[in-house]
Structures are given as C-alpha cells and as structure tokens.
Amino acid sequence: MSSTSSVPPRAARLPRLVLRPNRPPEPAARPRVPRILFINQYYWPDHASTAQHLTDLAEALAVQGFECHVLCGRGKYKPKPGGDPPPPAWEVRHGVTIHRVWASSLGRRSVVARMTDYLSYYAGAALKTLALPRFDAVVTLTTPPLIGLVGSVAKKIKGSKHIIWSMDLHPDASIALKAPKPPGRLFRVFQWLSDGVVRSADRVVALGPYMAERLRSKGTKPGRIVEIPVWNRRDEIQPLPRAGHPLRAELGLADKVVAMYSGNLGLAHTFDEFLEAARRLRHRSDLAFLFVGGGPRLKEVIAAKEADQLENLLILDYFPREQLRFSLSVADLHLISMRAAMTGIVVPGKLYGIMASGRPALFVGPRACESARTILEADCGAVVAEGDVDHLVRTLELWADHPELREAMGQRGRHYFLEHHEASTCCQMWADLLKAELITTPSRDSVPGVPPAPHLASRGPGQTTRTRAVGETSRFWLS
C-alpha cells in the first residue's frame, strides 16, 4: 500500500523568509589617481630646455588629475656668481610636488666640473627615489646621461613602470662628435649601460621618427617606442609685426632684415656656413646677422667677428623665457643647423619656437632628419646642405629682397605649429600614453604632507584616443 507524502514539491514550497539587518549599498570604487615621478636634473625655475618642457608637462598633467612629483637638483644649468639663492628642497607649485636634492653647481666650464655636478645629482636622486613611496610610473629624462639607471632601480625594487623621455642620446652624441676616432673602453662601457637601460624600459618616448629608428637599432622593441615631439606654447610665443617692435629699435635693427640664430651654440651644430655668409654679404647694409645665446662654440663666433671685423654680426646673451615672444620676433628669418652625424641623436627644439613666432626657418643640415622633415612638410622655410654656402647666400638674398615670401612661409609655419607642436596637443599625447600604461590597482598611500590630487574625470563623448603606425613605432593622437 503506497503512502502519500505530506511534503509539497520543491517548486511549490513558499520562499523562506530570512531577516537581515538593513545595510547601506557598497560605495562605488573611486577612479584611480595615477602617481608619477619625473626625474631630471633641472626643473623650474631653471631655464634649461629640459626644465622648461618638463615644467609644462608636469603642470599640464596635474590639471588633468595626475599626482605629479618632480625630483631635480637645487643647482642651476648655467650658474652665475652671486646669483639668486637656491630654491627650497621641497615645495608645491601649480599642483606639482617638487623634491630638490643637493648637487654641486660648478657649471659646464670643464669636463671635471660637469662630471662632479652629474655624480652629486646621481647620488642624491638615487637615495631620494628609494626613500619616497612607490610611484605608478617613474619617467626619467636624459639629463644627466644615464639617469635612467635610477628609473631601472625603481622598477626593479618598487615595481614602478619605467618610461624614458629621450631628449637626446648619450653617449651616442659624444661618439658621433669624435668620429671617425673609435670610442675608447670607457665609452663602450657607457654605451653598454645606456643601451641596457633603454631596452629594459617599459616605454621609450622619442622626439621623432629618426630618433625612433636609432632606438630600434639599439635593440629596443618597436612596440615600446612612442613618438611625441617637443613643443612651444601658443600663449608664450606669438607673431609680432616688425613695425613698432619694442626690441628692434632698441638694438638698432629697425631698418634691417635680421637673420637670427637663437639658442645653444653647441658642438652638435654647424656655424661655418653662417659666418661665411656674413662675410660674403657684409656689403649689404640692409642685412644683419644676430646671434643670441651661448654655448661651447660661442667663442668661435666671437673670434670670427673680431678677426674679420664683421660689423653686420651682432652677438647677445640669452633672453629670459618670458621675453621669448619679443626676442624671436626680432628676426625676419631664423637660422638653424645640425651636423649630419647627429641625426636621430638630437632634435633641435628651437624650430618650434621659430614656427610659433611666424618667421621662416633656414636650416643647414641633412634632409633626412626631424627638423628638415618638419620644415619641408610645413613649407615654412628651406633646407641647405652642410657646406653649401652658395645656396645659403642665394636664399638669404632672395628672402631679404622679397618680404612677401617671408610672410607667407611664416604664416604656414605658425599654422603647422598650432596643429602639431603646440604644448596642449603634445601634453595631451603624454596624458593619453600614461593613462594607457598605468595599472588600475589601488594606489599606495600618498606622500606624507601632500594633499591627494583630484580624481580623473572620464572622457567625454567623441574624445577617444587612437594610435597611428609610423614605421614600426606608435604615435598617440587625440581625435
């Protein structure tokens, strides 16, 4: 006889009521705040080129919500006797935390002085990096050479990502300038260390395609190389008209066509062509050559002026950065040069200031380099081969006699600058790179005494990041 169970089937059972205390909903995870440490010997208020570009970038990233720290030295790139006292060891400026370590400030008067400055900064930077909390990324520049070793140590010990901002290549520059003499043992060791640091970095930011190609030749994986050029700021350098210019009359150049070389007179550049052109054109009272700046080859320019009594050649010291828009627009045309051996090793950043000022550029150097490529693409000047003084003189006379040509090339250069080499565009490329690279795990504690940075806002519609292949490297663009 079968029995019928009094227990209803499972599907027919009433749900079991379980009383639980009311709990607030879990808070949504807040967006990640990336923490970046930049390491370079010079930063604001120093006027070195790397200091100016790093200042622009760090402050732009801070506005976007990155927690930015800079580790630099307290000395100056070009110290002056009895100058201003050194800046403080710690301060926050425009959202960027600045850590300054002691380093000697003997200047560039000798190899021993320069090496002393380098070594003292190495020691201070390495110890400070180990003492600071962990950063998501450590970005090392190339002043001094081999400072990337500190980034490699931070990557190995603290797990930070290491990104190299390759402003120039060492010891490649020294070896190229000594060619055809083969490098000695010390240079070979230096090269081995430098190449190893570059190959081990998570990313290497090159200033252009020729530098990227040289980095590839060192064994750097192509996928790790990113091209981001340097820049100038549209609000800092603007085209000013010749008429009524505040400096032209003061310098006695109001009625002259001024061919200007502005910036470092370094070993990577060639000046023989410019000096020979000044000799050949000394009969033209309407044409003046103006050299503004300093560097190891300044004494050669001074010696040529005195030996040949070149009254058409004027030499001035650097202008402060805040006066660049006045100094660069003194010129009717700008002179720029680079030795062919330095292709891919250095990229003269002065070209972008020239373009920003709305003046044409006359470049003496190889056609296969970043500067020549930019000038030709923008159609904002001319490229002259090294040693071709005849071509240089013909171009100078043509431009001197036809102001409408200079005006048209200057306008094209300004337009190209605003599109490709303005600070906001290039800094955004950096921001996109860092956002793509950084991990999304919770951040470590902030540095004691430093208020946390605001959280990153999400991108608005249509603001996507795309990557464009350039050879076997990548270039980040904001669409």
pLDDT tens per residue, range 351-364? 999 999 999 999 99
CB atoms within 10 A of CB 132: 17
Query: Sign of the CA dihedral 373, 374, 377, 380?
Result: negative
Written as six digits, the tokens of 230 are 């340097």
Q: Which residue, 478, 361, 472, is CA-closest to 416?
A: 361
pTM (whole model) above 0.85: no
pLDDT tens per residue, range 326-355? 999 999 999 999 999 999 999 999 999 999
Residues 212 and 206: beta-carbon distance below 8 Å: yes
Query: Sign of the CA dihedral 241, 245, 251, 252?
Result: positive
Collapsing DSSP to helix, strand or coil, 385 comes out as: coil
Collapsing DSSP to helix, strand or coil, 41 comes out as: coil
Mean pLDDT of the chain: 86
Task: Provide the pLDDT for residue 24.
Answer: 61
3-state secondary structure labels for all residues of 340-373:
HHHCCCECCCHHHHHHHCCCCEEEECCCCCHHHH
Written as six digits, the tokens of 442 are 């919770």
| Residues with Cβ within 8 Å of residue 76, at least 6 apart in sequence | 42, 46, 83, 105
pLDDT tens per residue, range 4-42? 444 445 444 444 544 555 666 666 556 668 999 999 999
Annotate 444-469 with DSSP letters as a single string.
Answer: PPPPTT-PPPPPPPPPPTT--EEEEE
Query: Cα–Cα distance between 432 and 367 in angstroms, integer?
Result: 31
Residue 371 has pLDDT above 70, yes or no: yes
Q: Which residue, 186, 156, 159, 165, is CA-closest to 174?
A: 186
Q: Which residue, 138, 107, 218, is CA-closest to 170?
A: 218
Residues 80 and 70: beta-carbon distance below 8 Å: no
CA distances from residue 7 to 2, 14, 310 in whole angstroms, order as listed = 15, 12, 114
Query: Cα–Cα distance between 415 and 232 in angstroms, integer?
Result: 13
The pLDDT-based confidence of 405 (bands split at 50, 70, 90) is very high
Angle 209-217/370-378 helices, nearest 10 degrees? Answer: 150
Pairing of strands 287-292, 313-316: parallel
Residues 207 and 230: beta-carbon distance below 8 Å: yes
Task: Provide the pLDDT for residue 475.
Answer: 31
Annotate 86-135 with DSSP letters as a single string.
Answer: PPPSEEEETTEEEEEE------SSSHHHHHHHHHHHHHHHHHHHHHSPP-
Range of weakest confidence among 25-29, 372-376, 383-387, 468-472: 468-472
84 vs 380: which has the higher pLDDT = 380
CB atoms within 10 A of CB 159: 11
Query: Cα–Cα distance between 387 and 443 in angstroms, integer?
Result: 56
Which residue blocks in 132-169 are alpha helix, DSSP H?
Answer: 148-158
CB atoms within 10 A of CB 264: 19
Residue 469 has pLDDT above 50, yes or no: no
Domains located in the chain, CATH noted: 35-227 (3.40.50.2000), 257-420 (3.40.50.2000)
pLDDT tens per residue, range 304-322? 999 999 999 999 998 887 8
Q: Which helix (H) or strand (E) holds 161?
A: strand 161-165
Mean predicted confidence (pLDDT) in 107-114: 73
pLDDT tens per residue, range 137-173? 999 999 999 999 999 999 999 999 999 999 999 999 9
